[in-house]
């Protein structure tokens, strides 16, 4: 039996949590999550206390390295390189990845985008689809390339 893929997850939004649960698999993992990249802890709520985002909260109690760079710089590049990932999977991360980040994982970097591309792009594809009166929406898995939301789409 083949070893599960080594996956680095990059995301900061609650839409990613069901996928993280599935990848972690409650003891029957479909992948080997080797690290998380997510947004930094930020002030939130009435008292503006500094709190982790939902992805960091999800990681609590799991033995995963969590990286929270403000910017993807040389240190972040080095952190990603040390994880020896087969694939990086991006879901609502909030950073545009430069070529040197995209090319680190052995099999590339994939984005799970919250729309049926190419129809809806941008920061709020679900809201845009609802506002346009769409009766159905979905997710698109695509390979990340230099141009935003322009890589080849998986046909599964």
- pLDDT 10s digits, 52-61: 999 999 999 8
pLDDT for the residue numbered 131: 86
pTM of the entire structure? 0.84
Q: Residue 51 and residue 27: Cα distance in Å, rounded?
A: 28
Residue 105 has pLDDT above 90, yes or no: yes
Residue 156 has pLDDT above 60, yes or no: no
Strand partners, 6: 32
Residue 145 has pLDDT above 80, yes or no: no
Enumerate residues 6+ apart whose C-beta is below 8 A from 85.
6, 7, 8, 34, 35, 104, 105, 106
> Furthest-apart CA pair in the chain: how many Å?
51
Strand partners, 153: 142
């Amino acid at each position: 039996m083949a070893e599960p893929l080594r996956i680095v997850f990059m995301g900061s939004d609650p839409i990613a949590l069901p996928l993280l649960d599935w990848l972690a698999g409650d003891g029957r993992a479909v992948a080997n999550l080797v690290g998380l990249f997510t947004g930094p802890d930020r002030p939130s709520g009435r008292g503006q206390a500094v709190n982790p985002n939902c992805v960091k909260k999800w990681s609590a109690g799991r033995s995963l390295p969590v990286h929270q760079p403000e910017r993807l710089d040389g240190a972040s590049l080095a952190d990603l390189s040390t994880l020896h990932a087969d694939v990086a999977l991006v879901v609502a991360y909030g950073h545009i990845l430069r070529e040197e980040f995209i090319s680190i994982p052995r099999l590339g970097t994939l984005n799970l985008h919250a729309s049926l591309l190419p129809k809806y792009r941008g920061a709020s594809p679900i809201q845009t689809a609802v506002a346009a009166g769409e009766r159905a929406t979905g997710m698109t898995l695509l390979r990340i390339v230099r141009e935003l939301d322009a890589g080849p789409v998986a046909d599964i």
